[in-house]
Chain A
Amino acid sequence: MSKTIILGVIGADCHAVGNKILDRAFSDAGFNVINIGVMCSQEEFINAAIETNADAIIVSSLYGHGEIDCRGLREKCEEAGLKDILLYAGGNLVVGKQDWSEVEKRFKEMGFNRVYPPGTSPEIGIKDLKNDLGL
């Protein structure tokens, strides 16, 4: 059975275009994409992952508040019994022009497995995911 991923835009962010592009790209790559759409809370990502027995949660954020919105997601996943689930994040995750390596470090400390800067092509994420899932 193909691997299931939860895809969505977190927080009060309503950028739908990138979300649709990612949906298409990951679906074409053979993943079972559960797209929960825009403006999703952490709880919605987690609930979706529980019901669908997902292998990864892929969070997008474009409006610059991604860091605040993503904080605590890993802890809540632990709490919900989603022990080994992969967490990816990408987009304009932080406000202003910040040093990417710093941003990446902060997200990794927050428990994210992979973090992507603005302008990353979906193919890179797909390749990493296949790697991480041993496909």
Chain B
Amino acid sequence: MDAALLIDFGSTYTKLTAVDLENEEILATAKDLTTVQTDIMIGFNKAFDKLKEKIDLSNVNFVEKLACSSAAGGLKMIAIGLVPELTAEAAKRAALGAGARILGVYSYELTKHEMDEILSKNPDIILLAGGTDGGNRDCIIHNAKLLAKYIGSVPVVVAGNKNAQEEIEEIFKEAGVYFKITENVMPRLNQINVEPAREVIREIFMEKIVEAKGMKKAESFVRGILMPTPAAVLKAARVLADGTDKEEGIGELIIIDIGGATTDVHSIASGEPSKAGVTLRGLQEPYAKRTVEGDLGMRVSAVSLWEAAGTRRIKKFVPNTPYEIEDRCRYLQANVNFIPEKEEDVEFDEAMGMVATEMAMERHVGIIESVYTPMGIIYSQVGKDLLNVRYLIGTGGVIVHSQNPKKILSAGKFTMESPNYLKPTNPEILIDKTYILSAMGLLAEKYPDKAIRIMKKYIVKA
């Protein structure tokens, strides 16, 4: 039987998914702790042993072995642009969509002080943008010169004003900087173009970052570490929504991935205003958009979740808890491997999941505001209108293992209490029950039709 072995070297767990390519079925999944400190293959082999217990491998032929990784901190990036709301924001979005964790966003001409700060953050890749095509050149060239002087071996992706490219190329070549040049993240004002930069970031991830994180051994076993895990989830979301030439997609959707450290939201939707008479404002939004909330998580970020939400907001979802909210969050942050079993613990985790969902969605979706003018009320929209998105898909530990995933995800729906947030009004809620989204993103690289059909089969109604 021809099968694919899909591997996710996660920050905590290495997860394996074996897929029967002929019958388009999940054969088995298995996981074990990621061992990046010693040798990443130790954890992999342990997980593989578990997989062998579940399926008889004697008649399984793995024709594909593909992997994604967020081990060793994932892909850490710095984004540099010119104006904070414009090219700096566009650069940030490109990096997020490539599956990176953003360590910092910088704008205008960098200072030496900021340069030191960037170096101290130890990024894997720096994305350098600034200026529209034909626009400002001085700023990006100043920043390129500063980077050339101090950055050492950190790879730089240049995605700024095309009229500055050649000069930057010379500056970097002379200084021996490893760099790649691609299309501008903002070729015209307010128009964003993040895909080419995302692609180049991924190339560098495969070439350099995987090696730097001690995963070279894994590379010899698998076909290659294709991308950071969040990029694989976004890829899965995209093929599931859009479909392919042969296989129809399910249409516009949102994926909420609630993890221990962050809550990621992916939306595949145009986000155009759904109501007449609304004017759009601000930077154009990417069709495939990813936001990451580093302060909303179930364990590692439990305290920051409490700080961001406040006691009352959490209490709203779990009014009768015996725990003191702050203490409990501190406890969970200190015990990252805690698995809830008692009813009150399960309830508390669900409440945290709901708060994370509610807040991450508020920060992801567009906001509509009424402006009073001499001509009457006018509505202006900033960001994506996701009111009519049909599917809300949940993934991540708390969702996959919960008895009440629908309850948790419902916190991401539109409410009349805060009508300004353009969240989906009545989406169908689906659950990534077998935890296959990142694996399907990998599979979709080569077998998009199969990936879609498998997702349609395994991502089920809550």
Task: Tell me the A residues contacting B by CB distance below 8 Å.
Answer: 1, 4, 12-14, 32, 34, 36-39, 43, 47-48, 50-54, 63-65
Contacts and interface: CB of A to CB of B under 8 A. Distances in A.
Given A34-B189, A36-B189, A12 B135 contact: no
Contact of A13 (B135, B137, B373): B373
Nearest to A16: B279
Nearest to B84: A47
Given A48-B189, A50-B83, A51-B189, A39 B131 contact: no
Given A39-B281, A51-B86, A1 B134 contact: yes
Interface size class of B (residues with CB under 8 A): 20 to 34
Interface stretch (B114-122, B323-331, B374-382, B422-430): B374-382
A125 B422 CA distance: 41
B72 interface: no
A4 B82 CA distance: 18
A38 B279 contact: yes
Interface in B144-203: 186, 188-190
Interface of B: 82-83, 85-87, 130-132, 134-137, 186, 188-190, 279, 281, 371-375, 378, 380
Contact of B136 (A13, A43, A50): A50
B132 A39 contact: no
The 5 closest A-B pairs by CB, nearest first: A52-B135, A12-B373, A53-B136, A47-B83, A53-B135
A14 B189 CA distance: 20
Contacts of A64: 374
Given A12-B373, A37-B279, A51-B87, 4 more contacts: A12-B372, A13-B373, A51-B83, A52-B132
B131 A12 contact: no
B210 to A, nearest CB: 34
A39 B134 contact: no
Nearest to B186: A51
A51 B136 contact: yes
A63 B373 contact: yes
Contacts of B136: 50-53
A63 B189 contact: no
A12 B189 contact: no
Contacts of A63: 373-375
Contacts of B130: 51
Contact of A14 (B82, B86, B279): B279
